[in-house]
Amino acid sequence: MLTRIEIDGFKTFEGFSLDLEPLTAVVGPNASGKSNLFDALRFLSLLAQYDVRTAMQGLRGEPEELFRQTPSGISDCMSFAAEVLLSRRGVDAFGTRYETPAQRLRYELKLALVQTAEGAPRGIFVRNENCRPIARKDDRATYLHSARLNRNARVNPFIELADSGDAILVRQDGRQKHGRPMQLSLKEASRTALSTITTAEFPHLYALREMLTSIRFLEINPRAARGANDRFEDRVLKPDASNLAAVLAHLKEKTANEHRPDGVLSDIAADLASLVPSVRRLKIRNDANERQYSFSLEFDGDLVFSSRVISDGTLRLLALLTILNDPDRRGTLCFEEPENGVHEGRVPMLVEFLRSAANVSTDPEIPSFQILLNTHSPKVMAELTDREIVAADSVVSIDPASRVRTTRTRMRTGIHPPSDLFDQEMHLSRPEVERLLQKLTDAA
């Protein structure tokens, strides 16, 4: 899971940093940068898997538009840093088991926009990359200080810039690995060193790559979620929930037993009934002739409706609850406007479901699970604890020389009483939250 994100030079971010809880809700009006934060996380996730060009194609906007606009033009570099909590144990894609003696890592990345002599963009390249353990004394995630974690900060960085400045060094850190580090040239580096790690020969880097690539963005498309699925469909829910039927069938198969013939589907139906009271049961159909899975919901009065006619709001909730009830849920889930399709009176229950699912696990067999929300709902905000609230707004600056106006995103975490240590850039007070709530209510 992510405990901190730092961004500079990407879209509306300048010198930006944000500490993250197991459940974090970014609250603010439209155009305040909430979606840009998710775009930054998506980009970081894609860069851990693909080359820079492919990663940028998965984002909104042209490559040059991803760089921050400054008074002197487009910024020529962007940088990211992420502090993470890794699982203690894992298995790579080839079945090799590994352990991570250092569960707390900091990963840094810098990209540069290179132009031709005529000023046209020539390409975007990696200019620096670093990954190193976080010592306990430097750990900013205070909620982890009492957790029983593997901490080993007395090792060399797993990735670092060579002394020459023109190459990245990648060290093997598995058992009895003491060879010379792998060296990757930065002359025309079109992908990150992290994206090249594919086995547990580099256990910490493999675990980091798995953690970043497991960041999920739930953008449910009700029309796609209604469809039947092939039996060989992916068993991890896709962002648009187009494989929802297959995921539900897989969960039933994996969790059903003599006493619970529907397995975890019973829990999903019960949670859905807490939000949509007329729901009674969730049913999966396995059509042997067509070799497809489909699903339906049973409501009061023995009424059964197939996925084709279930309302958009109910489908959104069903997809979300499917993830929350998956016993193998892990990583970070990013979800925009969770209140859509939910009656205002049921919002407290929804927030509690989200809070209960998000957890920091110290059990090596149970992965941690984190939820990041974007919302502009005063009802959702009212149900959040002080530590879970992040208030997003935009700050306008005017360059004294050129008089050019620039906008940057600001996000302030938690509620702090005004004091000598109160930092207006990082903290917010309860009256400010109340004014934000009032502003959102007036705009609705």
Q: What gap in Å lies between CA 364 and CA 99, rounded to an integer?
A: 9
- Lowest-confidence pick of 231-240, 285-294, 321-330: 285-294
3-state secondary structure 367-378: CCEEEEEEECCH
Residues 38-70: tens digit of each pLDDT: 999 999 999 999 999 999 987 877 888 899 987
Residues 369-417: tens digit of each pLDDT: 999 999 888 889 889 988 899 988 888 877 777 777 788 898 888 665 5
Residue 51 to residues 81, 202, 282, 421, 441, Cα–Cα distance (Å): 18, 20, 41, 43, 43
- Lowest-confidence pick of 6-15, 71-80, 298-307: 71-80
Would you state the pLDDT for residue 382? 86
Cβ atoms of 413 and 390 closer than 8 Å: yes
Count the alpha carbons within 13 Å of 187 in the hemisphere toward its beta carbon. Answer: 2
Report whether pLDDT(174) > 60.
no
Reading the block at residue 126, the tokens are 């990696």
Would you state the pLDDT for residue 207? 96
Reading the block at residue 203, the tokens are 């256990």
Tell me what percent of the residues of the chain surpass a pLDDT of 70.
Answer: 91
Strand, helix or coil for residue 412:
strand
What band does 153 get if pLDDT is binned at 50, 70 and 90?
low
Report whether pLDDT(292) > 70.
yes
Q: What is the DSSP letter of 311?
A: -
Would you state the pLDDT for residue 364? 72
Reading the block at residue 373, the tokens are 């929300």
Report whether pLDDT(433) > 80.
no
Residues 87-135: tens digit of each pLDDT: 999 999 999 999 999 999 999 999 999 887 777 778 899 999 999 999 9
Residue listed under structure tokens 């974690």: 149
Rounded to 5 degrees, φ, ψ at 417 are -70, 140
Residues 259-270: tens digit of each pLDDT: 999 999 999 999
The mean pLDDT of the chain is 88
What band does 147 get if pLDDT is binned at 50, 70 and 90?
confident
Q: Which residues contact 154 (CB under 8 A, 6 or more apart)?
A: none
Full DSSP string of 255-295 = H--SS-TTTTHHHHHHHHHHHSTTEEEEEEEEETTTTEEEE
What band does 443 get if pLDDT is binned at 50, 70 and 90?
very low
Instruction: Please indicate whether residue 366 or residue 12 has the higher confidence score (pLDDT).
Output: 12
Residues 324-369: tens digit of each pLDDT: 999 999 999 999 988 887 888 899 999 999 999 999 887 777 889 9
- Helices (H) and strands (E) counted in the chain, each on its own, are 10, 22
- Lowest-confidence pick of 23-27, 179-183, 276-280: 179-183
| 369-375, strands of its sheet edge to edge | 216-218, 331-336, 369-375, 23-27, 389-398, 405-413
Would you state the pLDDT for residue 28? 82
Cβ atoms of 323 and 237 closer than 8 Å: yes
Helices (H), 105-238: 203-213, 222-225
If one counts every other C-beta atom within 10 angstroms of the C-beta of residue 390, the result is 25
Cα end-to-end distance, the chain, whole Å: 34
Q: What is the pTM of this model?
A: 0.90
Interaxial angle between packed helices 347-357 and 312-324, expressed in degrees from 0 to 180 and rounded to the nearest 10: 30
What band does 431 get if pLDDT is binned at 50, 70 and 90?
low
